[in-house]
Amino acid sequence: MKNKIDKLINYFDNLKFRYKTAFLIFIIAGGMICIIILSQISIFAVKQDFDILFDKRTKSLMQLENIKDTFQVNVQDTLRDFEKKQISFEQTSEVLKLAQEIIDKNWLLYKNQIKVQNKDFLTTFIKDFIIKEENYYENKALKNNIMNNINTKMQIIKSKLAKINIDTNEEKFHLELNLQINAVSIYLTSLINYDLSLAINEKRNTDKIFNIILIFSIISIFIVFLFSIILSIFIINNFKKLHNSLEQKVDIKTKELQELNMSLESKISKEVSQNRKKDIIMFQQARLASLGEMLNNIAHQWRQPLGSITMIIQSFQTKLLLGKLTPDFVDEKVKDALFLANNMSNTLDDFKNFFSPNKIKSKFSIKNCIEHSIELSKYLLLRENIKVELTIKKDVEINSFYNELSHVFLNIITNAKDALCSNVNKNDRIIKIIVNKFENNLVVNIVDNAGGIPQEVLPKIFEPYYTTKYKSAGTGIGLYMSKQIIEKHMEGQLSCKNIRHKIKDERVFDCTLFTIKIPIKNNYKESDDE
């Protein structure tokens, strides 16, 4: 026996960890299910037997007692009162009829209740196959004999009651009827005693079932507890073995990592020296790229004022040839040329600090900034017969970057000018600028009637180096730079879309709308419309 137990223990000890765990879960879950099922069976069996005792026995006893009482009270006492002439024949007949109905009803209910003895399958299975319930105390032949005698006596009593009339007063008749009623009472008492003995014996069986199921529940709990402890010991030992094996693997991997680190140090030092050389080369390339980008930006911003200065110089030559060169004209044009040259000088300073994080903001009127941008391009706009309409619905003084915002307006006006020159008749060329305040934002709308931007081009206009012009006419960085200024430096938004608008008289033109939205801080000051 001991050898068999040792073999069983060794077998479980050699099982894989996942099988042990699965077996433990199976034992615990199966044991809990068995306990629950047994407890439910015991409760259900007790309830079932209790219901049977109550319905089958208690109610049947009450019905038999009602029949017995009806014979004694309603029949015998009524006949006795009629014999003494204390009640009339009509009253006697009415009471006897009612008594007969009560007797027939209760007797019928009793017999039907005996026929319907539905037992639950589960309870029947336990009693018949597990407990093997003993029914030696049940004598169906005796019960059937008593019921047949009751039926016979009740029929005799019923026939005798039917013969009662107003002149029935014979002592012999009443004596025979009383004897029959007393006999029925005796049989009913025997039937009641029989049913009581059945109820007592069934209660004894119910207690026996409950005790046996309770014993099975306790045994199952003990078995589950025992198996759980045994399997837990096996699993704990398995964890210890696993822990030891993992420690050994960790030690091996640690040694391998140390050796790998020793070899990596030399490789890293070589790679670092090579990367430093690459960084120096990339830094030089980045400086050259930044320098080229800066030169492109400066060239883009200088193209407009240089064109204006060229026109001023040409105007001197024209006036001189026509003999109309006057000192006042010279002073005016020199003043304009100096203004343009000063703006070009400021452009150099602006682009020198364009990518610097420590740029200084200044307070300025948005109206003055837009007028400054229009002034820079007025000669080229006049030459191309382009009319600029500035509408200030709400002038706002903001704290921001004056020159950068001026460059944005200048870029948009220059692009509008180029589009108008290519697509619109000289008499219809117009640029409309509308300034307003909406909620906590400064909104500037710039509209031109140059026919709009093609839909396939519209999504790309803010990409760097994207242009539809010839290389000599543009680099494709103007709108990209403008979007960077508005959105990154000023935390605003710059967008573009095509619209149809009555920009001039009653005609509807295909127009391009640029919208600049800049958030207004609490310290910004609104100024009156001019």
CATH number, residue 398? 3.30.565.10
For 421-427, the CB contacts below 8 A with 24+ separation are 421/384, 421/386, 422/450, 423/450, 423/451, 424/449, 424/450, 424/451, 426/384, 426/385, 427/385
DSSP 8-state code for residue 444: E
Q: Find the Cα–Cα–Cα–Cα dihedral 287, 291, 297, 303, rounded to 10°.
A: -170
> How far, in Å, CA of 482 to CA of 495, rounded?
11
> How far, in Å, CA of 123 to CA of 494, rounded?
84
> How far, in Å, CA of 33 to CA of 41, rounded?
12
DSSP 8-state code for residue 361: P
203 belongs to a structural domain: yes
370 belongs to a structural domain: yes
209 belongs to a structural domain: yes
| pLDDT digits 0-9 by tens, 146-167 | 888 888 888 888 887 777 765 5
Q: Once rounded to an integer, what is the mean pLDDT over residues 55-77?
A: 77
Last residue of a domain, one of 192, 213, 234: 234
Structural domain including 397 reads 357-526
> How far, in Å, CA of 397 to CA of 13, rounded?
86
Per-residue model confidence (pLDDT) at position 293: 46
Confidence of residue 54 (pLDDT cuts 50, 70, 90): low
Query: Has residue 500 got a pLDDT over 80?
Result: yes
Per-residue model confidence (pLDDT) at position 254: 87
Per-residue model confidence (pLDDT) at position 482: 85
487 belongs to a structural domain: yes
> How far, in Å, CA of 478 to CA of 415, rounded?
9
Q: Is 448 in a helix, a strand, or coil?
A: strand
Last residue of a domain, one of 167, 199, 234: 234
279 belongs to a structural domain: no
Per-residue model confidence (pLDDT) at position 358: 47
Confidence of residue 169 (pLDDT cuts 50, 70, 90): low
* Parallel, antiparallel or unpaired: strands 430-438 and 387-392: parallel
| pLDDT digits 0-9 by tens, 480-490 | 888 888 988 88
Per-residue model confidence (pLDDT) at position 114: 62
Q: Mean of the per-residue pLDDT values for the chain?
A: 76
> How far, in Å, CA of 295 to CA of 351, rounded?
9
- Total domain count, the chain: 2
Closest CA to 417 of 443, 384, 393, 441: 384
Instruction: Kindly give, in sequence order, each residue whose CB lies less than 8 Å from that of residue 378, ignoring residues fewer than 6 positions away.
Output: 308
Give the DSSP H or E segment for 434: strand 430-438
Confidence of residue 280 (pLDDT cuts 50, 70, 90): low
- Whole-angstrom CA distances from 242 to 16, 249, 324, 419 are 11, 10, 107, 79
> How far, in Å, CA of 305 to CA of 311, rounded?
10
Edge-first strand listing for the sheet containing 387-392: 387-392, 430-438, 441-448, 507-519, 493-504
Last residue of a domain, one of 186, 203, 234: 234
CB 502 within 8 A of CB 428: no
Per-residue model confidence (pLDDT) at position 116: 47
Burial class (CB in 10 A: 0-12, 13-18, 19+), 355: exposed
> How far, in Å, CA of 510 to CA of 503, rounded?
9
Query: Has residue 214 got a pLDDT over 80?
Result: no
> How far, in Å, CA of 368 to CA of 115, rounded?
111
Per-residue model confidence (pLDDT) at position 442: 92
Per-residue model confidence (pLDDT) at position 447: 95
Q: Which of 119-133, 342-356, 357-371 has the lowest mean pLDDT?
A: 119-133
264 belongs to a structural domain: no
pTM of the model: 0.39
258 belongs to a structural domain: no
65 belongs to a structural domain: yes
